Amino acid sequence: MQRVLVTGAGGQIGSELTPILRKRHGTSGVVATDIRRPGAASAFADGPFEIVDVRDRERIRSLVADLRIDTIYHMAAILSATGEANPRLAWEVNVGGWANVLEAAREFSVGRVFCPSSIAVFGPETPRDPAPQLTVLRPTTMYGLSKVTGELVGDYYVHRYGLDIRGLRYPGIISSEAPPGGGTTDYAVDIFYQAIQAEQYTCFVRPDTVLPMMYMPDCIKATLALMDADFGRLSRHCDYNVAGMSFSAAELAAEIRKHIPSFVCEYAPDFRQAIADSWPLCLDDSLARGDWDWRPAYDLATMTADMVRRLKLRFGK
């Protein structure tokens, strides 16, 4: 039986990924960890959980050794907006935490490790439409530069120590279960909650702001497809571009209005506008498509219809 460790399991992605990993590997085979304990209603409250701060190297070491972990999904991170409020914390968690996970993986010969990267690796000097796979990586946020560092050090461990480490540059992830954790693309989730509960939303980016986005089912699908792919087919390791959809904030509001005609969206850009402006409009993901058969299932219309349906059910609307 595989022994799987998930860091940051309580976050937007981890809280949906962990139950799916438990269906695949068995509930007791997947150890969820975070700095916060999940509530009793959490989707992964049914299995093993440990409080783990990824900055604690000894804690990671002993957990990987004692539980004989052979696969790690390293989801713990500080995202872009929170990272700009506290750049040092972002560096310590995103780079220091990742270094601790890599060292434990090396020392105890962990078979496979997943670590997400982000569209935040790109910066204003990157071609924006689309951002190529191999291109200029000069981000302007601490989050972005921690993710570039993470990609490079992950690739180093593949080539230097022969580890099997895999990573995707996720676009902004849209989902209906757990709230997003302090990023710039959070507006594309918040807008649904406000549209359904209040029929009004004040968006923190301009209406013409276009960003790459992806619906959670595609995020999980891409993650598992990359982790299942034959190592020999992979031409990249820690930095695959993956695309889902791209739209402007105004296009998203218009799509939501097809389901909630009275919805009103206003715009009051804040410091996150500059972060959004430094990221690309869309990604060239042809290597992911060729190497491990990546195809997204959701576009703006199908994602919006599903989000509205789920949240209306949740809020009894």
Q: Does 8 bind ligand NAD (CB under 6 A)?
A: yes
Residue 123: how many other CB atoms lie within 10 Å:
19
Which amino acid does the sequence have at 37? R
Query: What does 163 bind: ligand NAD, ligand AKB, none (CB cut-off 5 to 8 Å by kind)?
Result: none
| 156 catalytic residue (yes or no) | no
Query: Footprint of ligand NAD on residues 57-76 (CB under 6 A)?
Result: 75-76
Nearer to ligand NAD, 29 or 38 (CB): 38
Nearer to ligand NAD, 42 or 194 (CB): 42
Place of tokens 């940051």: 8
Near ligand AKB by CB under 6 A: residue from 18, 42, 71, 80: 80
**The pair of three-digit structure tokens given for residue 12, joined into one six-digit string:** 């937007």
Are 284 and 216 in contact, with CB atoms under 8 Å apart?
A: no
Number of residues that bind ligand NAD (CB under 6 A): 30
CA end-to-end distance (rounded Å), the chain: 43
Backbone angles phi, psi at 165, to 5 degrees: -120, 135
Q: Does 77 bind ligand NAD (CB under 6 A)?
A: yes
Place of tokens 């022994």: 3
Near ligand AKB by CB under 6 A: residue from 10, 38, 130, 183: 183
CB neighbour list of residue 84: distance below 8 Å, 6 or more residues apart: 141, 142, 143, 271, 275
Query: Footprint of ligand NAD on residues 100-119 (CB under 6 A)?
Result: 116, 118
Near ligand NAD by CB under 6 A: residue from 20, 47, 55, 220: 55
Nearest to 200 by CA among 257, 264, 267: 264
CB neighbour list of residue 153: distance below 8 Å, 6 or more residues apart: 95, 98, 99, 102
Near ligand AKB by CB under 6 A: residue from 54, 76, 120, 226: 120
Near ligand NAD by CB under 6 A: residue from 3, 14, 84, 158: 14
Residue 182's Cβ-side half-sphere holds a number of Cα atoms within 13 Å equal to: 14
Residue ranges that bind ligand AKB, judged by CB under 6 A = 79-80, 118-120, 143, 172, 183-185
Using CB under 6 A, list all residues that contact ligand NAD. 7-8, 10-14, 34-36, 52-55, 75-77, 79, 93, 97, 116, 118, 170, 172-173, 180-183, 185
Catalytic residues: 143
